[in-house]
Amino acid sequence: MKVKFSKLGMLALPLLLAGSPLVSQAEEQNSSFDVFYYSLSDQYISAFQNEMETLAKEQNLSLESFDANNDAGAQELQIAEKLPDNKPKIINLVKPELTEKIIENCKKSGSRVIFFNRQPDLKHMDDYSKVWYVEGDSMQAGQLQAEVVIDYIERHPDIDRNKDGRIATIILTGPQEHQATYLRTASLAVELCLKYNYIDINAKLDGQFDSLKARGELENYILNNGIDHVELIICNNDAMALGAISALNKEGYNTGSKKKKYIPVFGVDGIEPAIKAIEENKLEATIVNDEKEQAQAILILAQSKETDNRKLSKKLNMKVWSNGTVYIPYTKIIRK
CA 183 to chain centre: 11
Give the sheet arrangement for strand 167-173, strand by strand: 3-5, 331-335, 285-288, 265-269, 232-235, 167-173, 199-206
At residue 23, the pLDDT reads 45
Helix, strand and coil content of the chain, in percent to the nearest 5, comes to 45, 20, 35
CB neighbour class for 201 (10 Å; exposed up to 12, middle 13-18, buried from 19):
middle
At residue 16, the pLDDT reads 43
> How many residues in the chain?
336
CB 289 within 8 A of CB 9: no
At residue 9, the pLDDT reads 43
Mean pLDDT by 10 residues, the chain (336 residues): 44 41 56 96 94 96 97 96 95 95 94 96 93 95 97 95 94 92 95 92 96 98 94 98 98 88 96 96 95 95 96 95 94 88
Find the helix or strand (DSSP H, E) in which 249 lies: helix 238-250
At residue 29, the pLDDT reads 81
At residue 27, the pLDDT reads 57
Phi–psi pair at 69, nearest 5 degrees: 55, 40
| SS3 at position 43 | helix
